[in-house]
Every structure is written in C-alpha cells, then in structure tokens.
Amino acid sequence: MDLKGRTALVTGGAVRVGRAIALALAQRGAQVAITYRSSEGPAREAVGALEAQGVRALAVRCDQRDPQQIRAAVREIEAQLGPIDVLVNSASIFERTPFAEATLDDWDSHLEVNLRGPWLFAQAVGPGMQARGEGAIVNMVDIAAERPFVGYLPYSVSKAGLVALTKGLARVLAPQVRVNGIAPGTILWPEEYPEAQKAAYLEKTPLHRAGTPEDAAAAVLFLIEGSDFVTGVILPLDGGRSLV
C-alpha cells in the first residue's frame, strides 16, 4: 500500500508511541487523524506537527470505553478526511494491579480500552475497507500477551485477547484487508521503574537496549507498506527479549 493521499487513524496518537506512529504516517504522505481521551493540549500540538508535514490532520476526543464515542469519532473523521484506509490501534492503559488487590473495575477498564476498543474501531472501519477493496489494520499488542507481567494481569490478559482478535480479524476481513500486530518489549519505561530493574532487564535483552518510539513507527510502516503478503502476524519488537 502506498500511503500518499490515504487517510489513517491512530488511536492514542497524541502522545508517546502513538504520536511517533502518527508522524511517521504523515511523513509518508497520509492524512492523519488521532484520538485522545484527556491529552487535549498534546493532541493540539500533535496536529500542528502533523500539518507541518504538509498533510491534513485532525484530533478527536474519544474515550474508547464508550462505544458511542468510538462510532462518533469514526463518523467525524471520515466526514472531514474521507474514508479510513489505515487503522492503528495504539491507545492503551497500563496500570499496576497486584493480584490480591485487583478489582472488577481494573479488569473492566483494561478489557474495555485495550481489547473491546480495538474491536469496535475495526468493526467501524473494516467493512468500508472491504467494500473499497483495500485496507490495513495494525494493533499494538505487547510481549506480556505471551509472558504475563506479575502485578499487571488485567493488562496482560487484555493484550493476549488482542492477539486473538488480530488473528481473527485477519481471517474475517481477508482478502481485502490485512491485519497484523506488533508486540513491543520496553519502548518507553514506566515513570516509576527503578534504575536497577531497568539495568537487569536490559542485561537479559540480547540487544542490550530498550527500543524507541521510532522503532515502533518503523515496524508499523513495514506492516503497511513493506509487503502486501503479510497478514495475521504478531511481530515481536523487543530486542530479542522474548528469546530468553
């Protein structure tokens, strides 16, 4: 797929990895819409940075725990930028939930944002992609889907579900739409992460470094533009961490 002139949606595209992905798509000539929940200031800044690439851009507030807001966001984006050709499900929550203290709200919020949200976005844009004969969806998963993080079980389970959703959508939406996932290891450290634990993690990572948001963006570009014969794949982006 040639991204020039296409319309792309990056959920959670105002900050962190989502913003890097949105910028990379704009640099390839795509019109880019981003969603945000509470990061209004960063979202406005992101739109300015996207437009500086010479493309049209749009930020839409959307709490993807709310199905109606998801559908409304898609309608607004397509009304202003045209049919969505590329969907990157990047919005996610990652909250510490020790096993004995985890609540039903913890489970529900992680599943709603990290799993049900991507499902609803795909359901909103997938049929249109099929009707037009082409489209691409990339879901940001996590190595925790295969190796659950102690203290983050609701998060890990939500990402494991997203793996299954990715593979299922690849079958349901074929042959017109390709659906893939990226499973990052450490890209940006949690703010509270101790330096000693960072060092221990990197020591066990074959490449001995953390990734960058730009690494994630490059992987997304590969899955969209690099080959039209890749679908249903979960691409590890972890410096080899899943090998050990």
Give the active site residues: 155
The per-residue DSSP string of 41-70 comes to HHHHHHHHHHHTTTS-EEEEE--TTSHHHH
Hey, what are 23's tokens?
């910028």
Residue 108 near residue 36, CB atoms below 8 Å: no
Q: Which residues pair with 48 in a beta bridge?
A: none
Number of H helices, E strands in the chain: 8, 7
Please name the amino acid found at residue 29. Answer: G
> 3-class SS at 99?
helix
What spatial distance separates the first Cα and last Cα of the chain, rounded to whole Å? Answer: 35
Residue 11: DSSP 8-state: E
